[in-house]
Amino acid sequence: MLTNIMMAVTSHPQDPAREVEFNEWYTRNHVPDVLNAPGWRHAVRYKLAKATAGDVSPYLALYQVDHDDVEAAETTLMKHLASPLPWRIPMPPATPPAQGGLVPLDVRAYFRKTLEVGRNDQSPENAPKAVMVVQTHPARGAPVQPMNKWYDGHVADVIRMPGFRGAARYERIDMKTGYASPYLAVYELETDDVEKVAQDVAKQAELAYARDESSLFYGSVGWMPTTAGGERWVQVDGFAYFTLVSAPSKVPTLVAV
């Protein structure tokens, strides 16, 4: 079972030539540091493998947070990061002449879980090998409650496909850095063969667009409704597949000396 609150962070290495250093610091020191904040349970890091829609950052980190109050979670995290920690390593500086650090954040946002179906586990022992992530917003004029009811049923239909084990839907509740779409769906995969999964998903989507009822996307909720203006209720901002980089524990494997 996933927590009710999740923090999602997207980032990129400021200097692509230092990507190894970027990942070493992020996985081995920074994530364990965050997980030592009270109430911060698990974290998984993923690298973009395939984007089919939208401008998608190359790295994604998902943090499971036990706090149900986002401000309490943020306050706890900031207080922890401002406190001394013997093994903490500051973020490596950017490659000159650039200013700042090696790990610029594109988005940092908190989400509240609205649906969980199937088998989901982001612990270090059982983190999914890959995830399919869909960022969406409702079309202008779409009724939000019926849209969410339809989408919930659609998600349950999608995870019946081979390669999927579970999924969760989230609603954005607070943005700290950048812009995040108001809705996020994270599908956990049992395989890291994202090309095969992407092909299967594309095939089912093609059948659905053709109104072929053999599509698994027809399922229990039927075709996606449209607004009076003819727009599909759910508008996709980003659609991407990521493969697992790491699922660190609270114990750092890279420490200050």
pLDDT digits (tens, 9 = 90+) for 139-194: 999 999 999 999 999 999 999 999 999 999 999 999 999 999 999 999 999 999 99
Whether 251 is in a domain gets the answer: no
Query: Which pTM does this prediction carry?
Result: 0.96
* Whole-number pLDDT of residue 222: 87
For 84-132, how does the pLDDT look when each residue is reduced to its tens digit (9 = 90+)?
999 999 999 999 999 999 999 999 999 999 999 999 999 999 999 999 9
Mean pLDDT estimate for the chain: 97
The tally of domains found in the chain comes to 1
Whether 255 is in a domain gets the answer: no
Q: Which of 256, 141, 224, 136 is nearest to 186 (CA)?
A: 136
Whether 211 is in a domain gets the answer: yes
With a pLDDT cut of 90, the percent of the chain lying above it is: 93
Bridge-based pairing of strands 130-138 and 164-177 is unpaired
Whether 49 is in a domain gets the answer: yes
Whether 252 is in a domain gets the answer: no
Across the chain, how many H-helices and E-strands are there? 5, 8
47-75: average pLDDT? 97
* Whole-number pLDDT of residue 24: 98
Q: Are 166 and 188 in contact (CB under 8 A)?
A: yes
Whether 64 is in a domain gets the answer: yes
Q: What band does 221 get if pLDDT is binned at 50, 70 and 90?
A: confident
Output the domain CATH number for residue 167: 3.30.70
Range of the structural domain that residue 39 is part of: 5-246
Q: Which of 213, 199, 76, 50 is nearest to 130 (CA)?
A: 50
Q: What band does 216 get if pLDDT is binned at 50, 70 and 90?
A: confident
